[in-house]
Amino acid sequence: MARKALGPATLQVVQAVRAMAERPIVAAVSGGGDSLALAFAVAEVARKLGLDHSAVTVDHGLQAGSAERARLVQDQLLRFGYPDVVLRRVELTPDAGPEADARTARYRVLEAEAAERNADLFLGHTLDDQAETVLLGLARGSGVRSLAGMAPRSGRRVRPLLGVHRATTQACCVELGLEVWNDPHNSDPRFTRSRLRQRVLPSLENDLGPGVAEALARTAELARADADLLDRLAEELHAAATAGPQPPNLEVINDEVPSANRGSRKVPVGPALNCPILAAAEPALRGRVIKRWLLDCGARDIALQHVRAVESLIIDWHGQRQVQLPGMTVCRRAGDLLASAAGSTPRR
């Protein structure tokens, strides 16, 4: 690609990437405007800083001609000067929705490529994507962590464009004369995020005035700082609440066997959780610790109602024996909470 002065939109994208480029980079590129703008900026910055860099494009096989489009993306990336462009094809499982399944498969491939190169994985999420994420969290009644949206840096994942509008990445592609692929899924009303993008956010901007996306992104930044602090405090509380003597096993009765044939057996349990310590804690911290403890004990698909049911054994205990959760039983014994496999009743 011939060298020329960068346009204002391109320069803004390059500056955003430069601010977060610290080590080798793998750029995730779909061929859309956001990821192509990101890919160009990564190539520019990496050359100037002497950083190893490569790009990965993933073919999900969801649409006709996807393999050819992936090759066209690969060709554009090579013209940017990438020394290494990886094209990966993934097979999607039939038991998940196409949107979630494609995302899971894509990130699995991208993370593996970045780990192999000991590199950061640069993603092209923009300020508008962040605003959509916050709205989704609000609509689902999620906690402050969900309202915190996407972190600029999380493990290997780096999102340098969270302060850049989608309109800017699109303008960058126009300035560079890039061939952009517009994924039809992004405008398909079957998908929740597409409806947010096409209908909800524009309606909010129209009814409330401009700046809604910026306000939502700012909310995410503030919520992230609060969530990080709460998580640190909850980690300290969790350590204190699980520091006592730990029973190796719990004697139970198997509820799935007819009563005449029941016998006690020993089943592994997770760490005991101290009820008095948690009863004295703030509710926001107590709930976090309970959820963390349940996950440590092997629970899955924990929702707010499960956390509150377990919390009742701590702050509203009046002799009730146990709480049944998906795949797990939680009981209170001598001031501690204990967990066992589902279908088991602790012996008194």
Residue ranges for the binding site?
30-35
Q: Which residue has the tokens 């509380």?
A: 237
Q: Which residue has the tokens 């050359």?
A: 47
Question: Which tokens sit at 179?
Answer: 């061939």
Annotated binding site for ATP: 30-35
What is the rounded radius of gyration, in angstroms, for the C-alpha atoms of the chain?
25
Determine the angle formed by the axes of helices 8-18 and 166-176, rounding to 10 degrees.
120
**Measured between alpha carbons, how far is residue 339 from residues 198, 244, 303, 331 in Å?**
46, 15, 17, 6
Question: Among 7, 28, 78, 84, which Cα is nearest to 53's?
Answer: 84
DSSP string, 292-313: HHHHHTT--S--HHHHHHHHHH
* CA 144 and chain centroid, separation: 14
Question: Which tokens sit at 40?
Answer: 């160009």
